[in-house]
Structure 1
Amino acid sequence: MKLLAQILRYQLVTSMVVLFLGAGLFYVSVRYLIDREANKELFQSQVKVRWQLKHLETLPVYILQLGDSLQLEPVRYPGRSFIRETSMLNLAENEFQPYRQLVFYERALGQWYRVTISKMLLQRQHLMEAVVMTVTFIVTVMLISLLVLNSWLSKRLWKPFYKTLGKLDAYQIQQHETLTFEPQKTLEFDQLNQSVTHLTSRVTTAYQNLKEFTENASHEIQTPLAVILSKIEGLFQDESLTESQLVALSSVSEAANRLGRLNQALLLLTKIENRQFLAGTDPINLVPIINSKLRDLEDLIDQRELSIQTDLQPFGPVIHPALAEILVNNLLTNAIRHNVEKGKIIIILRERILSVRNTGKPLNANPEQLFERFRKESTLSASLGLGLALVKTICEVNGQNLKYDIDNEWHVLTVSW
Structure 2
Amino acid sequence: MVFIAFVIGFIMAFSIGANDVANSMSTAVGARAIAVRQAVTIAAVLEFLGAVMFGSHVATTITKGIVKVEFMNDPKVVLAGALAALLGSSVWVLLATVWGMPVSTTHSIVGGMAGFGIASAGFHAIKWEKMISIVISWVLSPIAGWLLAYALFKIISYTILRRVHPASAMKKAIPVIVFATFFIVCLLFGLKTLKVSFDRSLTWSVIIAIIASTFGVILLHRLKPNSDEYEYVESVFKRLQIMTSCYVSFSHGANDVANAVGPLALVYWIISHGNVAQEVHIPIWLLALGGLGISVGALSLGQQVMKTVGEEITQLNNSRGFCIDFSAASTVLLASVLGMPVSTTHVVVGSVVGVGMARGLELVNVGVLKNILISWFATVPVSALASAGFYLLIVRFI
- Normalized per residue, the structure richer in strand is 1
> Structure 1 length as normaliser, TM-score?
0.20
Select the structure of larger CA radius of gyration: 1
Question: Which is bigger in relative contact order (C-alpha 8 A, separation at least 6)?
Answer: 2
> Structure 2 length as normaliser, TM-score?
0.21
